[in-house]
Amino acid sequence: MQRNQNLRSHMLEAGLTQEELAEAVNFRLRADGHEGTVSDRTVRNWLAGKTVWPHARQRQALEAVFGRAVEELGFTPPAGRCGTAPSPEQEEPVRRRHFLTATTGTTAAAVPLVAAARPSSVGTSDVIRLREGLESLTTLDHTRGGHESLERAALSGADQALKLQERAASQRVRQRLFGVAADYTAAAAWSAIDARHRKQAQQYLDRALYLSRMSRNHTAELRVWNSYAMLARESGNYTQVVGAAQAAQTTTAARRDPFFASLAHARTATGHAYLGDRQAALRSLGYAEEALAKADLQVSRPSWAVFYGPGELYGLTSIIHGRLGDPAKAEAASHRDLAATPARFRRNRAMGTAWLALAQLHQHDVEQACATAETVFDLMDGGPLPGRMRSLLGGFHRDLITIASDSATAREWADRHRDEWSLV
Protein backbone atom coordinates (compact mmCIF):
# COMPACT_ATOMS: atom_id res chain seq x y z
CA MET A 1 0.00 0.00 0.00
CA GLN A 2 1.53 3.30 -1.13
CA ARG A 3 0.73 6.63 0.51
CA ASN A 4 -0.85 9.31 -1.67
CA GLN A 5 1.89 11.95 -1.66
CA ASN A 6 0.29 13.95 -4.49
CA LEU A 7 -2.87 14.56 -2.47
CA ARG A 8 -0.82 15.43 0.60
CA SER A 9 1.23 17.97 -1.40
CA HIS A 10 -1.87 19.63 -2.82
CA MET A 11 -3.42 19.80 0.64
CA LEU A 12 -0.28 21.41 2.06
CA GLU A 13 -0.15 23.91 -0.78
CA ALA A 14 -3.79 24.84 -0.19
CA GLY A 15 -3.30 24.90 3.59
CA LEU A 16 -6.00 22.26 4.18
CA THR A 17 -6.15 19.90 7.14
CA GLN A 18 -7.86 16.51 6.80
CA GLU A 19 -10.96 17.85 8.53
CA GLU A 20 -11.04 20.93 6.29
CA LEU A 21 -10.73 18.88 3.10
CA ALA A 22 -13.61 16.68 4.27
CA GLU A 23 -15.65 19.81 4.91
CA ALA A 24 -14.80 21.22 1.47
CA VAL A 25 -15.73 17.99 -0.33
CA ASN A 26 -19.01 17.73 1.62
CA PHE A 27 -19.77 21.36 0.80
CA ARG A 28 -19.40 20.55 -2.88
CA LEU A 29 -21.46 17.36 -2.61
CA ARG A 30 -24.30 19.20 -0.90
CA ALA A 31 -24.14 22.01 -3.49
CA ASP A 32 -24.75 19.34 -6.15
CA GLY A 33 -27.73 17.94 -4.24
CA HIS A 34 -25.98 14.95 -2.64
CA GLU A 35 -25.47 13.97 0.97
CA GLY A 36 -22.11 14.99 2.43
CA THR A 37 -20.74 11.80 3.96
CA VAL A 38 -16.99 12.38 3.77
CA SER A 39 -15.24 12.41 7.16
CA ASP A 40 -11.66 13.04 8.22
CA ARG A 41 -11.33 9.25 8.38
CA THR A 42 -12.24 9.11 4.68
CA VAL A 43 -9.46 11.61 3.96
CA ARG A 44 -7.01 9.56 6.07
CA ASN A 45 -7.82 6.53 3.92
CA TRP A 46 -7.15 8.58 0.78
CA LEU A 47 -3.81 9.76 2.15
CA ALA A 48 -2.79 6.32 3.40
CA GLY A 49 -3.53 4.77 0.01
CA LYS A 50 -6.26 2.52 1.39
CA THR A 51 -8.72 4.11 -1.03
CA VAL A 52 -7.06 4.42 -4.43
CA TRP A 53 -10.19 5.35 -6.43
CA PRO A 54 -13.03 7.15 -4.60
CA HIS A 55 -16.55 6.72 -5.94
CA ALA A 56 -17.72 8.98 -8.76
CA ARG A 57 -19.39 11.71 -6.71
CA GLN A 58 -16.41 12.08 -4.43
CA ARG A 59 -14.06 12.19 -7.43
CA GLN A 60 -16.08 15.00 -8.99
CA ALA A 61 -16.17 16.88 -5.70
CA LEU A 62 -12.39 16.53 -5.29
CA GLU A 63 -11.86 17.81 -8.83
CA ALA A 64 -14.09 20.79 -8.11
CA VAL A 65 -12.27 21.58 -4.84
CA PHE A 66 -8.74 21.46 -6.28
CA GLY A 67 -9.46 22.31 -9.92
CA ARG A 68 -7.47 19.24 -11.00
CA ALA A 69 -8.19 15.79 -12.35
CA VAL A 70 -8.26 13.09 -9.67
CA GLU A 71 -5.30 11.39 -11.38
CA GLU A 72 -3.25 14.54 -10.70
CA LEU A 73 -4.28 14.18 -7.06
CA GLY A 74 -2.65 10.76 -6.91
CA PHE A 75 -5.68 8.50 -7.41
CA THR A 76 -5.49 5.54 -9.77
CA PRO A 77 -8.43 3.82 -11.51
CA PRO A 78 -8.81 0.07 -10.97
CA ALA A 79 -6.93 -2.26 -13.32
CA GLY A 80 -8.64 -2.63 -16.68
CA ARG A 81 -10.04 0.89 -16.60
CA CYS A 82 -8.34 3.77 -18.36
CA GLY A 83 -10.01 6.45 -16.27
CA THR A 84 -13.14 8.37 -16.96
CA ALA A 85 -14.14 11.04 -19.41
CA PRO A 86 -13.59 14.53 -18.07
CA SER A 87 -16.66 15.76 -16.29
CA PRO A 88 -17.98 19.31 -16.63
CA GLU A 89 -16.78 19.90 -13.07
CA GLN A 90 -13.24 18.93 -14.10
CA GLU A 91 -13.13 20.97 -17.28
CA GLU A 92 -14.55 24.17 -15.79
CA PRO A 93 -11.69 24.77 -13.29
CA VAL A 94 -9.22 24.22 -16.13
CA ARG A 95 -10.96 26.90 -18.19
CA ARG A 96 -10.81 29.19 -15.15
CA ARG A 97 -7.04 28.92 -14.95
CA HIS A 98 -5.62 32.12 -16.35
CA PHE A 99 -2.00 33.00 -16.82
CA LEU A 100 -0.17 36.28 -17.20
CA THR A 101 1.27 36.82 -20.66
CA ALA A 102 3.93 39.42 -21.30
CA THR A 103 4.36 41.07 -24.69
CA THR A 104 6.45 44.04 -25.67
CA GLY A 105 5.49 46.82 -23.29
CA THR A 106 2.23 45.13 -22.26
CA THR A 107 1.19 42.64 -19.60
CA ALA A 108 -2.23 41.02 -19.76
CA ALA A 109 -3.21 39.93 -16.25
CA ALA A 110 -6.13 37.72 -15.29
CA VAL A 111 -7.30 36.52 -11.90
CA PRO A 112 -9.76 33.60 -11.72
CA LEU A 113 -13.27 35.03 -11.47
CA VAL A 114 -14.85 32.74 -8.90
CA ALA A 115 -17.58 35.17 -7.85
CA ALA A 116 -19.56 34.42 -10.97
CA ALA A 117 -19.10 30.68 -10.57
CA ARG A 118 -21.43 30.38 -7.58
CA PRO A 119 -23.86 33.21 -6.72
CA SER A 120 -24.66 31.79 -3.27
CA SER A 121 -22.18 30.96 -0.51
CA VAL A 122 -18.44 30.76 -1.07
CA GLY A 123 -16.50 27.67 -0.02
CA THR A 124 -13.00 26.23 0.09
CA SER A 125 -12.98 25.32 -3.61
CA ASP A 126 -13.48 29.00 -4.43
CA VAL A 127 -10.55 29.92 -2.20
CA ILE A 128 -8.32 27.41 -3.99
CA ARG A 129 -9.31 28.71 -7.42
CA LEU A 130 -8.58 32.28 -6.39
CA ARG A 131 -5.15 31.21 -5.18
CA GLU A 132 -4.30 29.97 -8.69
CA GLY A 133 -3.89 33.58 -9.77
CA LEU A 134 -1.15 34.02 -7.16
CA GLU A 135 0.92 31.33 -8.86
CA SER A 136 0.63 33.15 -12.19
CA LEU A 137 1.72 36.43 -10.60
CA THR A 138 4.72 34.72 -9.01
CA THR A 139 5.76 33.19 -12.33
CA LEU A 140 5.67 36.56 -14.06
CA ASP A 141 7.60 38.21 -11.24
CA HIS A 142 10.41 35.65 -11.56
CA THR A 143 10.59 36.34 -15.29
CA ARG A 144 10.13 40.08 -15.60
CA GLY A 145 10.20 41.59 -12.12
CA GLY A 146 7.94 44.19 -10.59
CA HIS A 147 5.86 46.47 -12.84
CA GLU A 148 2.56 48.31 -12.77
CA SER A 149 0.45 45.69 -14.59
CA LEU A 150 1.50 43.00 -12.11
CA GLU A 151 0.72 45.37 -9.26
CA ARG A 152 -2.77 46.10 -10.61
CA ALA A 153 -3.52 42.41 -11.12
CA ALA A 154 -2.48 41.67 -7.53
CA LEU A 155 -4.70 44.42 -6.15
CA SER A 156 -7.60 43.11 -8.24
CA GLY A 157 -7.16 39.66 -6.73
CA ALA A 158 -7.11 41.12 -3.21
CA ASP A 159 -10.26 43.09 -3.90
CA GLN A 160 -12.06 40.00 -5.17
CA ALA A 161 -11.05 37.97 -2.12
CA LEU A 162 -12.39 40.64 0.23
CA LYS A 163 -15.69 40.81 -1.64
CA LEU A 164 -16.07 37.03 -1.51
CA GLN A 165 -15.50 36.85 2.26
CA GLU A 166 -18.85 38.62 2.73
CA ARG A 167 -20.52 35.45 1.39
CA ALA A 168 -18.22 32.90 3.02
CA ALA A 169 -19.86 29.62 3.98
CA SER A 170 -18.07 29.56 7.36
CA GLN A 171 -15.75 31.54 9.58
CA ARG A 172 -12.89 29.29 8.49
CA VAL A 173 -13.52 30.12 4.81
CA ARG A 174 -13.73 33.81 5.72
CA GLN A 175 -10.33 33.66 7.41
CA ARG A 176 -8.84 31.86 4.42
CA LEU A 177 -10.13 34.57 2.10
CA PHE A 178 -8.53 37.21 4.31
CA GLY A 179 -5.32 35.19 3.93
CA VAL A 180 -5.65 35.16 0.13
CA ALA A 181 -6.24 38.93 0.18
CA ALA A 182 -3.11 39.32 2.33
CA ASP A 183 -1.04 37.32 -0.16
CA TYR A 184 -2.34 39.28 -3.14
CA THR A 185 -1.67 42.58 -1.36
CA ALA A 186 1.81 41.40 -0.40
CA ALA A 187 2.41 40.50 -4.06
CA ALA A 188 1.45 44.06 -5.03
CA ALA A 189 3.82 45.36 -2.36
CA TRP A 190 6.70 43.24 -3.62
CA SER A 191 6.09 44.41 -7.19
CA ALA A 192 6.22 48.01 -5.96
CA ILE A 193 9.45 47.31 -4.04
CA ASP A 194 11.10 45.76 -7.10
CA ALA A 195 9.97 48.73 -9.21
CA ARG A 196 11.24 51.09 -6.45
CA HIS A 197 7.80 52.60 -5.85
CA ARG A 198 8.43 52.85 -2.14
CA LYS A 199 5.45 54.92 -1.03
CA GLN A 200 2.95 52.51 -2.60
CA ALA A 201 4.90 49.55 -1.24
CA GLN A 202 4.66 50.89 2.32
CA GLN A 203 0.90 51.37 2.00
CA TYR A 204 0.41 47.87 0.59
CA LEU A 205 2.52 46.26 3.31
CA ASP A 206 0.61 48.02 6.08
CA ARG A 207 -2.61 46.68 4.56
CA ALA A 208 -1.18 43.20 4.03
CA LEU A 209 -0.03 42.96 7.65
CA TYR A 210 -3.53 43.83 8.85
CA LEU A 211 -5.10 41.24 6.53
CA SER A 212 -2.61 38.52 7.51
CA ARG A 213 -3.47 39.02 11.18
CA MET A 214 -7.19 39.01 10.42
CA SER A 215 -6.68 35.67 8.67
CA ARG A 216 -4.34 34.22 11.33
CA ASN A 217 -2.20 33.12 8.38
CA HIS A 218 1.26 32.92 9.94
CA THR A 219 3.05 32.30 6.64
CA ALA A 220 1.44 35.38 5.09
CA GLU A 221 2.53 37.43 8.10
CA LEU A 222 6.12 36.22 7.71
CA ARG A 223 5.95 37.14 4.03
CA VAL A 224 4.94 40.68 4.94
CA TRP A 225 7.77 41.11 7.47
CA ASN A 226 10.23 39.76 4.89
CA SER A 227 9.03 42.41 2.43
CA TYR A 228 9.21 45.11 5.11
CA ALA A 229 12.90 44.18 5.52
CA MET A 230 13.43 44.41 1.76
CA LEU A 231 11.71 47.81 1.57
CA ALA A 232 13.77 49.14 4.47
CA ARG A 233 16.96 48.01 2.73
CA GLU A 234 15.94 49.72 -0.50
CA SER A 235 15.14 52.86 1.51
CA GLY A 236 18.53 52.80 3.28
CA ASN A 237 17.02 52.33 6.74
CA TYR A 238 19.15 49.43 7.88
CA THR A 239 18.08 49.50 11.53
CA GLN A 240 14.54 48.83 10.31
CA VAL A 241 15.86 45.98 8.16
CA VAL A 242 17.06 44.23 11.30
CA GLY A 243 13.86 45.04 13.18
CA ALA A 244 11.57 43.69 10.45
CA ALA A 245 13.69 40.58 9.96
CA GLN A 246 13.68 39.88 13.69
CA ALA A 247 9.90 40.27 13.69
CA ALA A 248 9.82 37.63 10.94
CA GLN A 249 11.86 35.34 13.19
CA THR A 250 9.20 35.53 15.91
CA THR A 251 6.33 34.44 13.65
CA THR A 252 4.77 31.03 14.13
CA ALA A 253 5.78 30.13 10.56
CA ALA A 254 9.47 30.67 11.35
CA ARG A 255 9.23 28.77 14.65
CA ARG A 256 7.57 25.79 13.00
CA ASP A 257 9.52 25.56 9.75
CA PRO A 258 13.33 25.94 9.60
CA PHE A 259 12.97 26.94 5.94
CA PHE A 260 11.22 30.18 6.93
CA ALA A 261 13.50 30.61 9.93
CA SER A 262 16.46 30.53 7.54
CA LEU A 263 14.94 33.25 5.37
CA ALA A 264 14.32 35.47 8.42
CA HIS A 265 17.88 34.98 9.73
CA ALA A 266 19.32 35.72 6.28
CA ARG A 267 17.43 39.02 6.14
CA THR A 268 18.70 39.84 9.63
CA ALA A 269 22.27 39.11 8.53
CA THR A 270 21.88 41.45 5.57
CA GLY A 271 20.69 44.27 7.81
CA HIS A 272 23.64 43.81 10.18
CA ALA A 273 26.04 43.80 7.23
CA TYR A 274 24.69 47.12 5.92
CA LEU A 275 25.11 48.53 9.43
CA GLY A 276 28.73 47.34 9.37
CA ASP A 277 28.30 44.92 12.29
CA ARG A 278 30.51 42.06 11.08
CA GLN A 279 30.09 39.77 14.08
CA ALA A 280 26.30 40.04 14.15
CA ALA A 281 26.05 39.61 10.38
CA LEU A 282 28.15 36.46 10.29
CA ARG A 283 26.37 35.05 13.35
CA SER A 284 22.94 35.52 11.73
CA LEU A 285 24.23 34.13 8.45
CA GLY A 286 25.40 31.02 10.31
CA TYR A 287 21.92 30.63 11.83
CA ALA A 288 20.42 30.91 8.34
CA GLU A 289 22.70 28.20 6.98
CA GLU A 290 22.02 25.88 9.92
CA ALA A 291 18.25 26.31 9.62
CA LEU A 292 18.21 25.70 5.87
CA ALA A 293 20.25 22.53 6.34
CA LYS A 294 17.47 21.24 8.63
CA ALA A 295 14.62 22.20 6.26
CA ASP A 296 12.85 19.68 4.06
CA LEU A 297 13.06 21.36 0.66
CA GLN A 298 10.61 18.85 -0.84
CA VAL A 299 7.72 20.02 1.34
CA SER A 300 5.09 21.98 -0.56
CA ARG A 301 5.09 25.67 0.39
CA PRO A 302 3.33 28.78 -0.99
CA SER A 303 4.45 29.71 -4.50
CA TRP A 304 5.87 33.08 -3.36
CA ALA A 305 8.49 31.24 -1.27
CA VAL A 306 9.85 29.11 -4.11
CA PHE A 307 12.58 31.70 -4.78
CA TYR A 308 14.30 30.86 -1.50
CA GLY A 309 16.71 27.99 -1.14
CA PRO A 310 20.46 27.35 -1.38
CA GLY A 311 20.83 29.60 -4.43
CA GLU A 312 19.13 32.62 -2.84
CA LEU A 313 21.06 32.11 0.39
CA TYR A 314 24.32 32.11 -1.59
CA GLY A 315 23.15 35.32 -3.24
CA LEU A 316 22.48 36.97 0.12
CA THR A 317 25.85 35.65 1.35
CA SER A 318 27.49 37.45 -1.57
CA ILE A 319 25.77 40.72 -0.63
CA ILE A 320 26.76 40.30 3.03
CA HIS A 321 30.44 39.64 2.27
CA GLY A 322 30.46 42.49 -0.22
CA ARG A 323 29.14 44.91 2.39
CA LEU A 324 31.67 43.61 4.93
CA GLY A 325 34.54 44.34 2.53
CA ASP A 326 35.31 40.76 1.44
CA PRO A 327 34.86 40.92 -2.37
CA ALA A 328 36.65 37.62 -3.03
CA LYS A 329 34.24 35.78 -0.73
CA ALA A 330 31.38 37.70 -2.31
CA GLU A 331 32.45 36.58 -5.78
CA ALA A 332 32.70 32.93 -4.71
CA ALA A 333 29.21 33.07 -3.19
CA SER A 334 27.81 34.71 -6.35
CA HIS A 335 29.16 31.90 -8.51
CA ARG A 336 27.48 29.36 -6.22
CA ASP A 337 24.27 31.39 -6.36
CA LEU A 338 24.16 31.32 -10.17
CA ALA A 339 25.02 27.63 -10.26
CA ALA A 340 22.11 26.81 -7.94
CA THR A 341 19.43 29.19 -9.30
CA PRO A 342 17.21 27.66 -12.03
CA ALA A 343 17.12 29.36 -15.42
CA ARG A 344 13.38 30.10 -15.07
CA PHE A 345 14.19 32.67 -12.37
CA ARG A 346 15.43 35.10 -14.98
CA ARG A 347 15.13 38.24 -12.87
CA ASN A 348 16.87 36.59 -9.90
CA ARG A 349 19.71 35.36 -12.10
CA ALA A 350 20.14 38.82 -13.60
CA MET A 351 20.30 40.37 -10.12
CA GLY A 352 22.81 37.72 -9.02
CA THR A 353 24.92 38.44 -12.08
CA ALA A 354 24.96 42.16 -11.28
CA TRP A 355 26.17 41.43 -7.74
CA LEU A 356 28.85 39.15 -9.19
CA ALA A 357 30.02 41.98 -11.45
CA LEU A 358 30.25 44.30 -8.43
CA ALA A 359 32.33 41.76 -6.50
CA GLN A 360 34.71 41.44 -9.45
CA LEU A 361 34.93 45.21 -9.87
CA HIS A 362 35.77 45.68 -6.18
CA GLN A 363 38.75 43.37 -6.77
CA HIS A 364 39.77 45.72 -9.63
CA ASP A 365 39.16 43.03 -12.26
CA VAL A 366 37.66 45.66 -14.55
CA GLU A 367 37.49 43.77 -17.84
CA GLN A 368 35.86 40.71 -16.27
CA ALA A 369 33.46 42.84 -14.25
CA CYS A 370 32.30 44.74 -17.35
CA ALA A 371 31.86 41.52 -19.31
CA THR A 372 29.80 40.06 -16.47
CA ALA A 373 27.67 43.19 -16.14
CA GLU A 374 26.89 43.13 -19.88
CA THR A 375 25.28 39.72 -19.52
CA VAL A 376 22.62 41.25 -17.25
CA PHE A 377 21.06 42.89 -20.31
CA ASP A 378 21.25 39.61 -22.21
CA LEU A 379 19.55 37.72 -19.39
CA MET A 380 16.66 40.19 -19.40
CA ASP A 381 16.38 39.58 -23.14
CA GLY A 382 15.83 43.19 -24.08
CA GLY A 383 12.92 43.55 -21.66
CA PRO A 384 12.50 46.53 -19.31
CA LEU A 385 14.70 46.40 -16.23
CA PRO A 386 12.96 46.51 -12.82
CA GLY A 387 13.80 49.52 -10.70
CA ARG A 388 15.98 47.60 -8.26
CA MET A 389 18.07 46.21 -11.10
CA ARG A 390 18.48 49.64 -12.69
CA SER A 391 19.61 51.01 -9.34
CA LEU A 392 22.12 48.20 -8.85
CA LEU A 393 23.59 48.73 -12.33
CA GLY A 394 23.71 52.45 -11.63
CA GLY A 395 25.80 51.66 -8.55
CA PHE A 396 28.09 49.47 -10.64
CA HIS A 397 28.50 52.34 -13.14
CA ARG A 398 29.43 54.83 -10.41
CA ASP A 399 31.98 52.47 -8.87
CA LEU A 400 33.39 51.73 -12.31
CA ILE A 401 33.99 55.43 -12.94
CA THR A 402 35.69 55.75 -9.54
CA ILE A 403 37.93 52.70 -10.02
CA ALA A 404 38.77 52.85 -13.73
CA SER A 405 37.57 56.10 -15.27
CA ASP A 406 40.28 56.08 -17.99
CA SER A 407 39.80 52.44 -19.01
CA ALA A 408 38.66 51.80 -22.60
CA THR A 409 36.69 48.82 -21.32
CA ALA A 410 34.91 51.06 -18.83
CA ARG A 411 34.02 53.55 -21.56
CA GLU A 412 32.62 50.78 -23.77
CA TRP A 413 30.50 49.46 -20.93
CA ALA A 414 29.25 52.97 -20.15
CA ASP A 415 28.10 53.31 -23.77
CA ARG A 416 26.21 50.01 -23.55
CA HIS A 417 24.73 51.04 -20.21
CA ARG A 418 23.57 54.36 -21.65
CA ASP A 419 21.95 52.65 -24.64
CA GLU A 420 20.16 50.08 -22.51
CA TRP A 421 19.05 52.73 -20.01
CA SER A 422 17.37 54.69 -22.79
CA LEU A 423 15.23 51.64 -23.66
CA VAL A 424 13.60 51.21 -20.25
Domain segments of the chain as ranges: 5-90, 97-216, 233-308, 318-424
Query: CA–CA separation, 175 vs 215, rounded Å?
Result: 4
Indicate whether 286 pLDDT > 90.
yes
Average pLDDT for the chain: 83
Query: CA–CA separation, 152 vs 133, rounded Å?
Result: 13
Angle at 204 between CA 202 and CA 209, to 5 degrees: 95
Confidence of residue 322 (pLDDT cuts 50, 70, 90): very high
382-396 pLDDT, tens digit per residue, is 677 788 888 899 899
Q: Report the pLDDT averaged over residues 110-135.
A: 65
Indicate whether 87 pLDDT > 50.
no
Confidence of residue 144 (pLDDT cuts 50, 70, 90): low
Indicate whether 143 pLDDT > 80.
no
pLDDT at 141: 67
Query: CA–CA separation, 343 vs 124, rounded Å?
Result: 34
Query: CA–CA separation, 370 vs 358, rounded Å?
Result: 9
Highest mean pLDDT among 3-17, 176-190, 248-262: 248-262
pLDDT at 130: 82
Query: CA–CA separation, 362 vs 402, rounded Å?
Result: 11
Burial class of 49 by CB neighbour count within 10 A (0 to 12, 13 to 18, 19+): middle
Indicate whether 80 pLDDT > 60.
no
pLDDT at 351: 92
DSSP reduced 3-state for 415: helix
- Nearest in space to 359 (alpha carbons), one of 334, 337, 378, 340: 334
Indicate whether 110 pLDDT > 70.
no
Confidence of residue 111 (pLDDT cuts 50, 70, 90): low
Q: Report the pLDDT averaged over residues 123-133.
A: 78
Cβ–Cβ under 8 Å, residues 220 and 190: no
Query: CA–CA separation, 229 vs 235, rounded Å?
Result: 10
Q: Report the pLDDT averaged over residues 100-114.
A: 41
Indicate whether 109 pLDDT > 60.
no
Query: CA–CA separation, 387 vs 173, rounded Å?
Result: 37
Give the DSSP letter string of 324-375: TT-HHHHHHHHHHHHHHS-TT-HHHHHHHHHHHHHHHHTTT-HHHHHHHHHH
Confidence of residue 312 (pLDDT cuts 50, 70, 90): very high
Q: Report the pLDDT averaged over residues 88-111.
A: 39
Q: Report the pLDDT averaged over residues 292-309.
A: 88
Confidence of residue 1 (pLDDT cuts 50, 70, 90): low
Q: pTM for this one?
A: 0.73
